[in-house]
């Protein structure tokens, strides 16, 4: 592709549109992806599984986000992710927050937010192809004017992905570094990085292969090596024909640009007209119309050129597009200048040339400012205004010196960062080799030492091992007994018999739907308890699911005598925190039977879950029942319900602490008002994770 530096615009409301358009243009088969777009829209509409629907929506939002109401779209992603405790969906939501900050001109905050998204995806090992946050972040760096920071970020990420993976993500990083060198006209370096991106894409991403070939061919075109540029674009076209993706407009544009540079305007026009049949996006259509007008101007067919320029101008006015790229993407005024200059209307020619110069200044695009100041100098000199012509010549030289200085500094800084990156990569390779050699030496030395001392210390080792295993075995046996008691406590005959009796009552009372619902919940609860009991630890969300079913059953039995509320802190990931199974249920059962069932009015059980210092899980279970003192008094008079769960759970926690030195503990508080009246009970569990 033949686009130069992307430059920031002053109007923040247009930034996201500009960036999304960039992504669309840099895609190797934007039109060909329409099949995937239609498929995704259809699947999202019919999908009933929330997690699968989130994944489809994320893919659609990232690749086709320019067509969406993103606030509504990502709001739905966040809502479903919170509902289903789906961490990746919440991580992707940070990307949307970064877009919002970018729109407000808060680029540093936007960069930090998108970095946080990328780090989250990296922690999950997610591969990020084209248009994902890793590819996207370079545009925000560009808007912030922090190209060098972008270069350093991608360099560091390459080292990270080589060490920790996924290695596929280095493709986006290499591509970003190639764009950096392209912006400074260092085509040799740019092509080198695009080549590296191409090699990585060959292992997993056919679309990326097409895109990188286009970029490499585009760099050769800018560099002036037309034969090499054509070699890559022709190869690309053949690949697309084989894959039935010949409608790819970027290839036709690229081949048209090569023919134009060779002054083969007839072939250039043919390629541009082939591309014209494929465009659907309005700004892409505008670019195509400008390209066609450009050919007609060079052929001297000014009337035809004017027709296509006016068509492009209509789109230009409707879309309110300014200069987004160098090399005349939507700078329609420049070609109007050329048209009026060719037809002898010097006044209108100068007016359009000054307009496009102002657009370049607003965009801050120094290469375009150089081009137009030089054009103004030549035009004014030719038309006899030598004084103003001199002013533009001075401006041109100042800009040229400034650009040369910037490019020199950028290349020096890039070289230093590359050296640091190479040093880090060499260090990683050296450490890996050293680690491998060390492991080999350790194995050989250890085996040799073992043979020498085995006869001397074998008895000591055996006794120590036996004593340690005996101690561990005792603890494990006690813990296993506690776990078994816990399971039995949850599935005590009273609960099972009462549940079955409730089902029978519902059936007798002709409440078949209630009975069916109750039976389904009951069977699901029993299955969850049995499944969870097979594991030493389970995710916290599984434990909460079990509690929810248990509470629903008890609530149905007691005619909704109490309310159950769970509050989870925002930074708590219940899907990744592991706890022993059936740890919380005894406290809920105790709150229901000994706190709320003796209360005349409706009660509430509230469960608050949060993490402390990312090391401890704090679970607080609060009821507004009659309190422990009153419950103990009533319990001494009646023995209708005995729960051994609290005692068993205490034994489990004690054994866990002895076996693993985990530091888990349970605190129970009596809640009272200022007058000393009982307000309920709170149980606080602190569990390391």
DSSP 3-state of 180: helix
Place of tokens 């925002």: 570
Phi then psi for residue 603, to 5 deg, are -120, 180
Chain centroid offset of residue 327 CA: 32
DSSP-assigned letters across all residues of 537-564 = -EEHHHHHHHHHHHHHHHHHHTTT-EEE
Q: What span, in angstroms and rounded, lies between the C-alpha atoms of 589 and 626?
A: 14
Q: Please, what is the angle between helix 226-242 and helix 249-261, to 10°?
A: 160
Q: Please, what is the angle between helix 386-490 and helix 645-660, to 10°?
A: 120
Q: What span, in angstroms and rounded, lies between the C-alpha atoms of 75 and 686?
A: 33
The candidate with the shortest Cα–Cα distance to 88, out of 53, 112, 64, is 53
DSSP 3-state of 516: helix
Q: What span, in angstroms and rounded, lies between the C-alpha atoms of 467 and 442?
A: 28
Mean pLDDT of each 10-residue bin along the chain, 689 residues long: 34 42 40 62 90 89 68 87 92 91 91 95 89 88 86 91 92 92 84 94 86 91 93 89 67 90 94 85 80 93 94 81 45 89 93 88 74 90 88 84 69 65 65 66 66 69 68 58 50 67 82 85 86 83 91 86 91 87 86 84 93 88 88 64 62 72 83 87 89
Place of tokens 């054509």: 230
Q: Is residue 36 a contact partner of residue 122, using CB atoms and an 8 Å limit?
A: no
Q: Is residue 396 a contact partner of residue 369, using CB atoms and an 8 Å limit?
A: no
Alpha helices in 224-365 (DSSP H): 226-242, 249-261, 265-276, 282-299, 302-319, 332-342, 346-363
Is the peptide bond preceding residue 166 cis, with omega within 30 degrees of 0?
yes
Element (H, E) at 161: helix 147-164
Q: Is residue 685 a contact partner of residue 583, using CB atoms and an 8 Å limit?
A: yes
Q: Is residue 619 a contact partner of residue 609, using CB atoms and an 8 Å limit?
A: yes
Indicate the DSSP class of residue 321: -
Structural domains of the chain, with CATH: 1-145 (no CATH), 476-688 (3.30.565.10)
The pLDDT value recorded for residue 417 is 67
Phi then psi for residue 324, to 5 deg, are -105, -35
**Whole-model pTM above 0.75?**
no
- Rg of the chain (C-alpha set): 35
Question: Could you write out the three-class secondary structure of 399-464?
Answer: HHHHHHHHHHHHHHHHHHHHHHHHHHHHHHHHHHHHHHHHHHHHHHHHHHHHHHHHHHHHHHHHHH
Establish how many alpha carbons lie within 13 A of residue 480's alpha carbon, considering only the half-sphere containing its beta carbon.
Answer: 7
Phi then psi for residue 24, to 5 deg, are -60, -45
Across-strand partners of 688?
616
The pLDDT value recorded for residue 645 is 58
Q: Is residue 177 a contact partner of residue 193, using CB atoms and an 8 Å limit?
A: yes
Q: What span, in angstroms and rounded, lies between the C-alpha atoms of 461 and 530?
A: 40
Question: Positive or negative, the Cα torsion across 30, 133, 76, 548?
Answer: positive
The pLDDT value recorded for residue 684 is 92
The pLDDT value recorded for residue 12 is 38
């Amino acid at each position: 592709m033949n686009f130069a530096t992307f430059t920031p615009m002053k109007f923040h409301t247009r930034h996201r549109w500009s960036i999304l358009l960039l992504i669309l243009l840099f895609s190797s088969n934007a039109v060909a992806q329409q099949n995937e777009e239609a498929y995704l829209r259809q699947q999202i509409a019919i999908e009933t599984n929330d997690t699968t629907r989130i994944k489809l929506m994320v893919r659609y939002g990232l690749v086709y986000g320019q067509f969406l109401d993103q606030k509504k779209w990502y709001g739905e992603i966040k809502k479903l992710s919170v509902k289903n405790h789906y961490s990746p969906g919440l991580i992707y939501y940070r990307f949307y927050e970064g877009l919002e900050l970018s729109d407000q001109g808060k680029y540093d905050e936007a960069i930090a937010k998108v970095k946080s998204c990328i780090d989250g995806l990296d922690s999950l090992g997610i591969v990020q192809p084209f248009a994902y946050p890793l590819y996207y972040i370079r545009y925000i760096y560009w808007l912030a004017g922090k190209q060098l920071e972008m270069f350093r970020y991608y360099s560091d990420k390459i080292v990270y992905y080589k060490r920790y993976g996924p290695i596929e993500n280095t493709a986006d990083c290499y591509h970003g570094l190639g764009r950096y060198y392209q912006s400074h006209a260092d085509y040799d370096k740019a092509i080198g990085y695009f080549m590296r991106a191409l090699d990585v894409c060959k292992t997993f991403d056919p679309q990326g292969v097409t895109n990188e070939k286009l970029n490499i061919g585009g760099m050769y075109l800018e560099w002036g090596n037309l034969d090499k540029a054509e070699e890559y674009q022709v190869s690309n076209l053949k690949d697309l024909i084989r894959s039935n993706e010949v409608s790819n407009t970027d290839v036709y544009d690229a081949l048209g640009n090569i023919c134009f540079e060779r002054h083969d305007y007839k072939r250039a026009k043919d390629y541009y007209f082939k591309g014209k049949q494929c465009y659907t996006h309005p700004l892409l259509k505008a670019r195509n119309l400008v390209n066609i007008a450009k050919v007609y101007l060079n052929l001297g067919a000014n009337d035809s050129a004017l027709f296509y320029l006016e068509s492009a101008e209509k789109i230009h006015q409707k879309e309110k597009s300014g200069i987004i790229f160098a090399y005349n993407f939507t700078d329609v005024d420049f070609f109007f200048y050329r048209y009026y200059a060719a037809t002898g209307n010097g006044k209108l020619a100068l007016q359009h040339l000054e307009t496009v110069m102002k657009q370049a200044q607003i965009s801050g695009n120094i290469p375009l400012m150089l081009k137009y100041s030089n054009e103004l100098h030549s035009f004014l000199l030719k038309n006899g205004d030598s004084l103003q012509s001199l002013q533009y010549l001075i401006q041109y030289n100042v800009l040229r010196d400034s650009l040369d200085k910037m490019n020199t500094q950028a290349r020096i800084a890039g070289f230093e960062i590359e050296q640091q990156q190479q040093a880090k990569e060499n260090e990683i390779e050296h450490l890996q080799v050293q680690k491998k050699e060390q492991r080999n030496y350790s194995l050989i030395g250890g085996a040799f030492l073992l043979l020498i001392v085995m006869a001397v210390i074998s008895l000591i080792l055996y006794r120590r091992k036996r004593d340690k295993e005996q101690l561990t075995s005792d603890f494990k046996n006690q813990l296993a007994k506690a776990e078994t008691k816990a399971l039995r406590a949850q599935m005590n005959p009273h609960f099972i018999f009462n549940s079955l009796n409730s089902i029978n009552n519902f059936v007798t009372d002709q409440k078949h739907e209630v009975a069916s619902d109750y039976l389904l919940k009951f069977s699901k609860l029993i299955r969850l308890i049995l499944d969870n009991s097979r594991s030493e630890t389970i995710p916290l969300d599984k434990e909460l699911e079990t509690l929810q079913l248990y509470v629903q059953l008890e609530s149905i039995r007691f005619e909704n005598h109490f309310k159950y509320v769970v509050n989870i802190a925002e930074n708590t990931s219940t899907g990744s925190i592991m706890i022993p199974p059936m740890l919380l249920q005894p406290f809920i059962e105790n709150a229901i039977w000994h706190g709320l069932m003796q209360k005349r009015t409706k009660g509430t059980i509230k469960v608050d879950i949060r993490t402390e210092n990312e090391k401890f899980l704090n679970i607080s279970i609060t009821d507004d029942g009659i309190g422990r003192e009153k419950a103990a008094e009533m319990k001494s008079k009646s023995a209708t319900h005995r729960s051994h769960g609290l005692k068993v759970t205490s034994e489990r926690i004690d054994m866990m602490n002895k076996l693993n030195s985990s530091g888990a503990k349970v605190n129970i508080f009596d809640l009272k008002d200022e007058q000393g009246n009982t307000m309920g009970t709170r149980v606080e569990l602190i569990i390391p994770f």
